[in-house]
Amino acid sequence: MKVFSTIGFLLIFGCASVSPIKKAVSSDDEKIMNVMKDLPSHEVQVFFSEVIRDKNGKISFKEDEFQVDDSAYFYPASAVKLPIAILALEKLNENKLLDRDTPFRVDNDSITSTFGKDIIDIFAVSSNDTYNRLFEFLGQDEINNRLNKKGIAARISHRLSVPNSDDLTTKPLVFYKNDQVLYKTGATTNQPIIPLNLNSVTKGIGYTVGDSLFNQPMDFSKKNYLPITSLHGILKRLLFPELFTKEQQFHLSASDRKFLIDAMRVLPKEAGYTSKDYYDGYVKFFVIGDSKNPIPEYLKIHNKVGYAYGYLTDCAYIINTKTKKEYLITATIHVNKNQIYNDGVYEYDTIGIPFLAALGRKLVLEQGSEK
């Protein structure tokens, strides 16, 4: 191990001064070394920004990145719920009859909810059902047009964990006031999904559909695409809109923007999920993801994770009140040793989440305590 640590450090990082990420991933922490000894198979990408505030309150960033490559495809899973939650409120703001507390349901569905409740569930427990309802409100074309016009590279093409997830026709939504129909959206038909032209969009040696195994690589070219730089940029736009032009910003009310930022910090128990399965780190991978203990009071973690097909991603704004430092961290890792996709056999708990938690501790706790 020690031989690899020294040689690997020189091969990967050269002799230049050590950056925060490179220092973190070259540590002798076993949870990090388990990934670094087989780095190519884990497809790690990390984007790190320390928030710098000058005496006048002006914001800048001290930034670092590791293996970030927008042309190298990874499956973003539920991380796509971050932009969809933001865009749903942006679109809702354009209709003066509606707000995030207006009751609604998807046409022919029995569940009545509100955008406010659904967004809380998206961040507290990463609910797929709530994401899918907001997806119906927006549709593929509008999602991608809104993101692309803001300078955010993305291609969101499908719902999550439902049959016909990539159906191009969205369902109408019905909004209510005092049990009377207030407003109804129409069904929209979106443009056909164009396959992605990226590196590594076919993956592995096989995949399963139900009980059937197909011994060929899985094609991700029509799946959702949301690279690390886009996720990081979305987080920056939400937290620090003043750093972007009007065209690049999300057009949110001050109330909705605060609501979104606060929602990203909500723990499962605070949203009414009291089962022991919903511990504080359930969908907060950085720093605390490998522990079932309560989150330390000095940490404020606003984030959105994604995990599916062996990919784990976290996009977080973390405040360490002990050191009075703020960080934005976006990272992804791949853990699929058998290279079979959709079989549910992934090393999330043994390799992936421990790596992201340890990486977060190195960047947020240890670095922040240096003099």
CATH architecture type of domain 72-211+222-275: 3-Layer(aba) Sandwich (3.40)
| 82-121 confidence digits (pLDDT tens) | 999 999 999 999 999 999 999 999 999 999 999 999 999 9
| pLDDT (mean) for 234-261 | 98
| pLDDT (mean) for 181-206 | 98
Half-sphere CA count of 76, side-chain side, radius 13 A: 30
Q: What is the DSSP string of 201-259?
A: -EESSEEEETTEEE-SPEE-TTS-B--HHHHHHHHHHHH-GGGS-GGGS----HHHHHH
| pLDDT (mean) for 36-62 | 96
Of the candidates 305, 105, 326, 309, the one whose C-alpha atom is nearest the C-alpha of residue 206 is: 309
Say yes or no to pLDDT of 10 above 80: no
Question: Topology of domain 1-68+279-371, per CATH?
Answer: Beta-Lactamase (3.30.450)
Of the candidates 149, 144, 131, the one whose C-alpha atom is nearest the C-alpha of residue 79 is: 131
Domain boundary assignment for the chain:
1-68+279-371, 72-211+222-275
| 266-324 confidence digits (pLDDT tens) | 999 999 999 999 999 999 999 999 999 999 999 999 999 999 999 999 999 999 999 99
Burial class from Cβ neighbours inside 10 Å (0-12, 13-18, 19+) for residue 244 reads middle
Q: How confident is the model at residue 264 (pLDDT cuts 50, 70, 90)?
A: very high
Say yes or no to pLDDT of 62 above 90: yes
Long-range contacts of 195-203 (CB under 8 A, 24+ apart): 195/221, 195/222, 196/73, 196/155, 196/220, 196/221, 196/222, 196/223, 196/225, 198/71, 198/72, 198/73, 198/225, 199/69, 199/71, 199/72, 199/73, 200/43, 200/72, 200/73, 200/74, 201/73, 203/339, 203/341
Burial class from Cβ neighbours inside 10 Å (0-12, 13-18, 19+) for residue 49 reads buried
Of the candidates 96, 77, 331, the one whose C-alpha atom is nearest the C-alpha of residue 225 is: 77
8 A C-beta contact, residue 26 and residue 18: yes
Check: pTM over 0.85? Answer yes or no. yes
Say yes or no to pLDDT of 22 above 60: yes
Say yes or no to pLDDT of 52 above 90: yes
